[in-house]
């Protein structure tokens, strides 16, 4: 009988553009783990895109959907949970992440993040603010909360997805 390498969830957190989705896809392929893309699940359940959820119901509503989904997720094991960039900002969310998971923070420099998200149109938090000053400021505002939530921190600048995953596995 096959045994899984991990009997807990790997929970990826970090700023928009930090590489959460890319890394989760890679991990799921290599280790045959399920992936839960939180934004995608929320959008599917609500029957609308993330920008539409923000526009129709507001940010608070979206944040509450995140909290509810994370409560469901702590019942799972052996999944890669790719969080939206704001999911680690609520303390109660972080507590849910930690119940069954290792929380992995992916970070990058503001310049790198800017390059990755500058053409993004589906991130309401950036709405019209896709500039380096806004990104630097918001990253700084969120930094402490991200770091406090993390069990493991991985700096991604200049690394390939493979290198990032190897580092992640080594630190688990």
When the beta carbons of 16 and 104 are compared against ligand S3P, the nearer one is: 16
* Interacting residues toward ligand S3P by CB under 6 A: 16, 20, 39, 50, 84-86, 123-125
Strand segments, DSSP code E, in 34-140 are 34-37, 79-82, 101-107
Q: Least distance (Å) from ligand S3P to the CB of residue 97?
A: 15
Q: Least distance (Å) from ligand S3P to the CB of residue 118?
A: 13
Query: What is the four-CA torsion angle of 114, 118, 123, 128, rounded to 10 degrees?
Result: 110
When the beta carbons of 5 and 122 are compared against ligand S3P, the nearer one is: 122
Confirm if 123 and 113 have CB atoms less than 8 A apart. Answer: no
* CA atoms of 7 and 112, how far apart (whole Å): 33
When the beta carbons of 85 and 101 are compared against ligand S3P, the nearer one is: 85
Q: Least distance (Å) from ligand S3P to the CB of residue 111?
A: 17
Q: Classify residue 122 by its DSSP letter.
A: S
């Amino acid at each position: 009988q096959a045994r899984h390498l991990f009997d807990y969830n790997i929970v990826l957190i970090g700023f928009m553009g930090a590489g959460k989705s890319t890394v989760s896809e890679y991990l799921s392929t290599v280790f045959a783990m399920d992936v839960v893309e939180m934004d995608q699940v929320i959008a599917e359940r609500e029957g609308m895109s993330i920008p539409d959820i923000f526009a129709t119901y507001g940010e608070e509503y979206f944040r509450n959907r995140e909290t509810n989904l994370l409560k469901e997720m702590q019942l799972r094991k052996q999944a890669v949970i790719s969080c939206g960039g704001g999911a680690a900002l609520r303390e109660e969310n972080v507590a849910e992440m930690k119940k069954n998971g290792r929380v992995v923070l992916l970070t990058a420099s503001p310049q790198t993040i800017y390059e990755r998200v500058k053409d993004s149109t589906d991130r309401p938090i950036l709405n019209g603010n896709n500039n380096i000053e806004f990104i630097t400021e918001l990253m700084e505002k969120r930094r402490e909360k991200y770091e406090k939530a993390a069990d493991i921190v991985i700096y991604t600048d200049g690394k390939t997805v493979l290198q990032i995953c190897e580092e992640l596995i080594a630190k688990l």
